[in-house]
Structure 1
Amino acid sequence: MIVPTTTELSPAARVDTLAAQTGRRVALVYEGSTYGYAALADQARRLAAVLAAGGTTEGDRVVYLGGNSVTFLTTFLAAARLGAVFVPVNSRLTAPEVAIVLSDCAPHTLVTEPEYRPVAEAASPGSARLLSVPGDPAATAGEAPPSPWETLPAAAGPAPEPVHCGPDRIAMLAYTSGTTGRPKGVELTHGNLWWNGVNQDMVATSAPLDVTLVVAPLFHTAPLGSFALRTLMRGGTVVLRRGFEAGSMLADLETYGVTTVFAVPAMFAAVAAHEGFAAADLSALRTAVTAGAPAPASLIERYRERGIALQQAYGLTETLFAAYLPADRIATHSASVGLPLPYTEIRIVDPAGDLAGAGGLPPGERGEVCVRAPTVARGYRGKPEATAEVFADGWFRTGDIGYLDPDGYLYLVDRRKDMIIVGGDNVYSAEVEQVLARFPDVEDVAVVGVPDEHEGESVVAIVTGRAAPGPTGPRARPALAELRRFAESELARYKLPTRVVHADRIPRNAMGKLDKPVIRAALADRDESVFDAAAAPAPTPAAEAAPAPASVADPAAPWLYTLAALPPDEQYRLVFDAVVAGIARTIRGGRAVVAPEDRLQDIGLGSLAAVELARRLGDTLRLRLPSTTLFDHDSVDALVRHLTARVVAGNTRPAVLDRLTDFERAVRDAPADPAVRAELRIRLRGALNRLAADEGPLVPAPAGTPTDRDLFALLDAELGPA
């Protein structure tokens, strides 16, 4: 099916439309701050104006080097507005690796977050414009970088109207991970992205009220195109996190009522292992999708026990999503990556045959997975031979080995390049990995082939796991003989490993896939240090910059515990200032000045922003505020008066506190019997313990001048007879 060329597929034009129709609806929640569609469109228009003023025009490549951020998305929208090509670069790459990408795409402009400037400078071809931008557009600008770096000006000229984006216009260059060689720039069109959204909507609908959580790196096509972009184009809300942390992801799923989420299996596993997973309210979560690596049956079961269908999906950078396992089929086809998406064809062909005109293999027979769909990219930038090798007649050779069952479900066996040939027989490493992964106490496993003088290649298994308990203490990690005996009932003898390497960690790439080239190189060089725990990659700049989890409360206001003693006007002013500061931190791009008479609904408060502001004010004022607090008051003035009364009331303590100082003095000076004095002290300590258990703050108060008789009477009244 071909989309008419008159159809407007520009994501920039779509966001403009949503901003005009429903500008206060929350488009984006980024690390606790919210952006309405109007604010998001304004940020994208501003950046587009700056790019245009610097000469960016249709077809130019605009590179983004940075982590998950607001600016990542606004750069994509700004490029689309100008008809330019967006190029997201893997933020984990080194300068030499980035240089390969830049050399291939010949960028006009590098949009770079400040902490990535050293990498960009080292990798830049020298002709590109260098634009330094904060990941958060509302962040305070730091010291201006030296020339030739430019920064966003305080004000920009008017942005051009969005360029028409038909289905064949290139939207982005998405570079392959390079695990099988030099990375190639995949030319994805606006039509590819549009059809990807349509395909997914047919099996997992996205709606304007949906809330999508994005924790995976946006430089990958799944979190960007299939979740963040699809949600924004339909008027939903994207909760975007700078990086992944299991506790934060679990808190976000619950706090924001997330309805759709994508993550790799390792991320879902970390959340399931969190201590709060069993009790978390995940009732809003309708769609949870995983891809990038096989999801173990035990992980799928763990989520099923919580009422969540963890759905497998399959796709590549060149195809976007191609297959999807429906939620109601997980129980019967848990090992499958799903059925072909509605506008997608999947064929299994002979890996050694020609793609053009190749017939499909019968069900159950293994071969190379090929995909044809309107989501399939047009080819690789500047690489006609590489394009011709895998693209033909609308089909794409995935390089994956798999089979279709009689009902059309796709099962993956291995990567074609990961296939091991032992004495002329094919061994699919993924098949061996799946069997060995079931061995008790094996936590992770990778299987690769290494040169063998007799068989051509031999099978090596790298495993991680803990020493299992035995009758006389912990037993050693599984030996080669144990693994072979365990697997021999399911695998032919030539498929069994001939060597086992015990590892602390197994290298994986950014999407959680086994990094087979690194593993093979380490074995070839006889250098197994990459499997040591100390070899784990250092935190990336994005991870280092990630803020504390959302559960960490904002600091309490310094005047909080003395508010009750201040004049009413001063009480009001302090709480008003706290509310205004909370609004400024929560609603980025909102009004600069807030007055008491302003209606809360007029200052840009959508539903999620109101919930976030209530949480923030509760932290600042040390109050337990329901999430509906902002909806219960019409104006800023009404909210401030309510909060002031709550704080003052919370700081009003029982009368006994006003007398404790004198009471202690009376006990100390009383000429009573020592036993009586000891009893009084015990009772006093009990009173203090009971008061300390109260949730409100203890407020020192001036002591009165009661008599000893009054004090002892007060003690009896408060605690009862001894």
Structure 2
Amino acid sequence: MINRGIGDWIHRRRIKSAGNIAVISAAGELTYDDWAVRIDRLADALARRGVKQGDRVAYLGENYPSFLESLFAVGSLGAVFVPLNTRLAPPEIAFALKDSGSTVLIASATMEPLAVSGSRGTDVGLLALVQDGTPVPAERQDGDLEAVDYEQLLAGGEPVRPDAAVGLEDLAIILYTSGTTGQPKGAMLTHGNLTWNCFNVITDMDITSDAVALMIAPMFHVASLGMGALPTLLKGGTLVLEPRFEPGRVLELIEKHRATFISGVPTTYQLLAEHPNWESADISSLRNLTCGGSAVPLRVLEAYEQKGLAFTNGYGMTETSPGATTLPARYSRPKQGSSGLQQFHTFVRIVDPLGMVCAPGDVGEIQVQGPNVIQAYWNREDATADSFVEAEDGTWLKTGDMGYRDDEGFVFISDRLKDMIISGGENIYPAQVEQEISQLEAVAAVAVIGVPSEKWGEVPRAVIVVREGLELTEAQVLEHLNGKLARYKIPKSVVFTEEMPRTASGKIRKPDLRRQFGG
């Protein structure tokens, strides 16, 4: 049988790049040939545990070789990988596990409490714990959940290549993204989506086989995985995995490993440039600096220009695997503030409310089409129907983002139609936060808006109307949210008002709230 998916990539690299370093981490170095053996062992071990084509295997952990080992092993079986955000609260983890129907969860031992609590009431029967800094307890049973050591599980498999027929149209990853209605949606990324996204990256950014990509953003986000890790491995380069971002250490690692490629959000690059070691750090090896989430501020752009570096900015989302546009480094100054041109194998259009393509300079909704764009959401026919539109030239993804093109075709983002907040590269949809706050008896009305933050770009703020005769404090609101939402989603401030500005139909006018409380 032929495996045309990403699960076969490291197997193909084991000979093409034999002896070359594939990954560097706290666990040491792994060559492509040695890594391929580990991946085959894990795939065989999972198959012995009953994982078969189409089954879902989830992962909860920071950047570590086991994340990618699991992705490729699962893909080689024709099963589906479900990466989970480590910053989610137990109810959010439980939702993703239950909704996806995952039967196996591979998790960092440091996150065992979250993994165990999130697995309760789901179909997860096997929890494999990765010793990435915390000793793994002996094999044990917790109700219906069997906990085992990841390395022991892997060692129990044979180094044999799975015999599975996998096509580019087959599902590879279910990646949960916040929903505008408060309900997370599982974006269904196929092997073809991920592959074509990599083609876009290596075409538009010139990733080469000698690339050394320092992974400082979590790979459970599709931006880090799709724009950094997968393109580098496709070309036979080297990944340096860091579990978390610490500016001083990042500067040291760039110099130590002669990193050529890093990816982040504007906050990432700002914190690097503000570190005391910035001036003395040798980062001359860097060739590619990618940035997403929002435009690079001019002051940050200038700090890197002084070191002879420029950014490749871009725009995209989980549903586009994730690239949609790229601003080449050569245009980082003349087109500052732009998200760039449509990627090489992707098509972007901007349309008015009637679906007509806008003239240059006119603001409309950004829509995307291409082989890197998903076709559906997992178990969400309603969301699928709402997110795509048919046209004479095919199906287009409705991004919900507003923007315009200049005369040369460069895209500029002007507003977010869905009121999404982007905080430090994390997407926050106010509806989910508003739902939780509204559970408080004292809340008569609530709206969550984004307010400027020098460090994070923007952070959420809750605006609340308190019911007559009741009392509520900011501390009570924040305490109520603690443990129910990921910490980055919890508002950094709460303000109270006597009434909400509303439209004639009763909807809250968030632009008015931003003007009044957004400073």
Give the TM-score category using the shorter length.
Answer: 0.7 to 0.9
Distance 1:459 1:245 in 2: 29
Number of the residue aligned with 1:409? 410
Distance 1:330 1:364 in 2: 20
Distance 1:385 1:460 in 2: 26
| Amino acid corresponding to residue 30 of structure 1 in structure 2 | S
Number of the residue aligned with 1:202? 203
Q: Secondary structure at the match of 2:52?
A: coil
Number of the residue aligned with 1:678? none
Distance 2:24 2:175 in 1: 25
- Please report the RMSD computed on the Cα atoms of aligned residues, expressed in angstroms: 3.2
Question: What residue ranges of structure 2 are gaps of 5+ in the alignment?
Answer: 435-445, 467-471, 488-519
Number of the residue aligned with 1:11? 6
Number of the residue aligned with 2:362? 365
Q: Secondary structure at the match of 1:133?
A: strand
Q: Does 1:386 align with 2:373?
A: no
Cα shift at 1:222: 1.1
Distance 1:302 1:132 in 2: 44
| Amino acid corresponding to residue 195 of structure 1 in structure 2 | W
Cα shift at 1:310: 1.9
Q: Which one of 305, 312, 328 corresponds to residue 330 of structure 2?
A: 328
Deviations 1:470-503 (A, max 9, x none): xxxxxxxxxxxxxxxxxxxxxxxxxxxxxxxxxx
Number of the residue aligned with 2:274? 273
Number of the residue aligned with 1:603? none
The within-5 A match list for 1:71-470 is 71-124=66-119, 125-136=121-132, 141-147=136-142, 148-151=145-148, 152=150, 153=152, 155-158=155-158, 159-178=160-179, 181-319=182-320, 320-350=322-352, 352-353=353-354, 358-392=355-389, 393-418=394-419, 462=451
Cα shift at 1:52: 0.3
| Amino acid corresponding to residue 418 of structure 1 in structure 2 | D
Please say if residues 202 and 231 of structure 2, whose CA atoms lie closer than 8 Å, have aligned partners that are also in contact. Answer: no
Please say if residues 5 and 168 of structure 2, whose CA atoms lie closer than 8 Å, have aligned partners that are also in contact. Answer: no
Q: Secondary structure at the match of 1:182?
A: coil
Number of the residue aligned with 2:23? 28
| Amino acid corresponding to residue 261 of structure 1 in structure 2 | I
Change (3 A) 1:400 1:309: same
Q: Secondary structure at the match of 2:259?
A: coil
Q: Which one of 63, 70, 77 corresponds to residue 65 of structure 2?
A: 70
Distance 2:262 2:147 in 1: 36
Cα shift at 1:123: 2.2
Q: Secondary structure at the match of 1:418?
A: coil
Distance 2:299 2:2 in 1: 45
Distance 2:199 2:477 in 1: 42
Distance 1:184 1:323 in 2: 23
Q: Secondary structure at the match of 1:173?
A: strand
Q: Secondary structure at the match of 1:202?
A: helix
Cα shift at 1:359: 2.1
Q: How many residues are treated as equivalent by the alignment?
A: 448
Cα shift at 1:231: 0.8
Please say if residues 5 and 192 of structure 2, whose CA atoms lie closer than 8 Å, have aligned partners that are also in contact. Answer: no
Name segments (4+ residues, structure 1) moved above 6 Å. Answer: 457-461
Cα shift at 1:367: 1.2
Change (3 A) 1:180 1:215: farther
Distance 1:277 1:284 in 2: 15
Distance 2:2 2:269 in 1: 38
Number of the residue aligned with 2:495? none
Cα shift at 1:387: 0.3
Cα shift at 1:536: 11
Deviations 1:510-540 (A, max 9, x none): xx57454xx2x354567555999xx999xx9
- Greater mean deviation of Cα atoms: 62-71 or 15-24: 15-24
Distance 1:528 1:363 in 2: 45
Please say if residues 292 and 513 of structure 1, whose CA atoms lie closer than 8 Å, have aligned partners that are also in contact. Answer: no
Change (3 A) 1:340 1:463: closer
Q: Secondary structure at the match of 1:417?
A: coil
Deviations 1:595-641 (A, max 9, x none): xxxxxxxxxxxxxxxxxxxxxxxxxxxxxxxxxxxxxxxxxxxxxxx
Change (3 A) 1:23 1:407: same
Deviations 1:170-201 (A, max 9, x none): 11001103465211000001111111011111
| Amino acid corresponding to residue 237 of structure 2 in structure 1 | G
Cα shift at 1:269: 0.7
Change (3 A) 1:531 1:385: closer
Distance 1:180 1:245 in 2: 34
Distance 2:450 2:328 in 1: 33
Distance 1:513 1:398 in 2: 21
Q: Secondary structure at the match of 1:49?
A: helix
Q: Secondary structure at the match of 2:199?
A: helix
Identity of paired residues, percent? Answer: 33
Please say if residues 44 and 162 of structure 2, whose CA atoms lie closer than 8 Å, have aligned partners that are also in contact. Answer: no
Distance 2:33 2:465 in 1: 55
Structure with the greater alpha carbon radius of gyration: 1
Deviations 1:420-451 (A, max 9, x none): xxxxxxxxx99xx9xxxxxxxxxxxx9x999x
- Greater mean deviation of Cα atoms: 138-147 or 21-30: 138-147
Number of the residue aligned with 2:509? none
Instruction: Looking at secondary structure, tell me which structure has more helix per residue.
Output: 1
Deviations 1:101-159 (A, max 9, x none): 122111121122223222222222343222222154x9865433434323243732424
Distance 2:404 2:116 in 1: 46
Deviations 1:621-673 (A, max 9, x none): xxxxxxxxxxxxxxxxxxxxxxxxxxxxxxxxxxxxxxxxxxxxxxxxxxxxx
Distance 1:459 1:116 in 2: 29
Please say if residues 79 and 172 of structure 2, whose CA atoms lie closer than 8 Å, have aligned partners that are also in contact. Answer: yes
Change (3 A) 1:513 1:39: farther
| Amino acid corresponding to residue 60 of structure 2 in structure 1 | L
Cα shift at 1:283: 1.6
| Amino acid corresponding to residue 407 of structure 2 in structure 1 | P
Deviations 1:371-396 (A, max 9, x none): 11111011101111210111233210
Distance 2:464 2:234 in 1: 47
Deviations 1:683-704 (A, max 9, x none): xxxxxxxxxxxxxxxxxxxxxx
Cα shift at 1:259: 0.9
Change (3 A) 1:11 1:464: closer
